[in-house]
Amino acid sequence: MSKREAESVHPDANRYGGWHWSRPRHGEHFRRCSYCGSVHPEDLAAEALWTAEWADQKYGWPHKFYVNVINRDPSRLYVLGSSSGQSYRNDPDKQPAPVLKSDTHEWVRWSELTPAQLAIVAEDNGADYHADWIEFGYRPTHFGKLYTVHLGDPALPADVKDLIERRSGLAFTFYEDGRVGWHPAPPYVVTPTPANTVVSTQTGAPNTVTFNPPLQ
């Protein structure tokens, strides 16, 4: 990553040693920014189906949107939660199991974790992580966010920036003096493929899917 690229996106990160794109973790298959947690625009652009949900403009401009990315390995177990009771610190085996959020989830006492479950905990939360109870379950999607400042990255391919803007509904202009302009982007039409085709119940023909969600 060039100095110009780093400073044009997150100049404030220099006081913390800069920023970089972290490798995929926690069962995800996309990179994240080490400073703001944003999904890499190129990785998001490679996904077939997603819709942007814009955050409130608390900074005065549409600075980020949220997105659910389809999990490529839906059969994989994840750590979805954990629980530790202060009143059972000296005898954690007596702490009752927390309430299940879903019948597809399972709480397992730490002392009863199998080697395979311990490996999942280490992968999702780190080797030093510990809790009295661990909640396991499946994750159909990965929750992510994209900070639009990354669309001003001079190293970002123009076609990726254009695709993200069309899919999210807004196009951005980043000026050298730090100002940011935005306006509605042309709608994005997906060419039908087996992965994104919606078959009409009336004609049996595939329909295209248009993305241009309104601001929320």
Average pLDDT score over residue span 170-176:
91
What Rg value do the Cα atoms of the chain yield, rounded? 21
Average pLDDT score over residue span 91-108:
68
CB 186 within 8 A of CB 208: no
Domain coordinates in residue numbering, the chain: 3-72+141-185, 77-138
pLDDT for 215 equals 35
Higher pLDDT, 93 or 69: 69
Is the pLDDT at 160 greater than 50? The verdict is: yes
Higher pLDDT, 31 or 3: 31
How far apart are the two ends of the chain, measured CA to CA in Å? 34
Please tell me what DSSP assigns to residue 178.
S
Sequence-distant (6+) residues with CB within 8 A of 122 are 129
Single out the residue of 153, 210, 156 nearest to residue 187, CA to CA: 210
Which residue, chain included where needed, has tokens 């999904």?
Answer: 39
Share of the chain above pLDDT 70, in %: 76
Quickly count: other Cβ atoms within 10 Å of residue 27's Cβ: 17
pTM: 0.74
Q: Which amino acid is at 203?
A: T
Q: Is 64 exposed, middle or buried (0-12, 13-18, 19+ CB in 10 A)?
A: buried
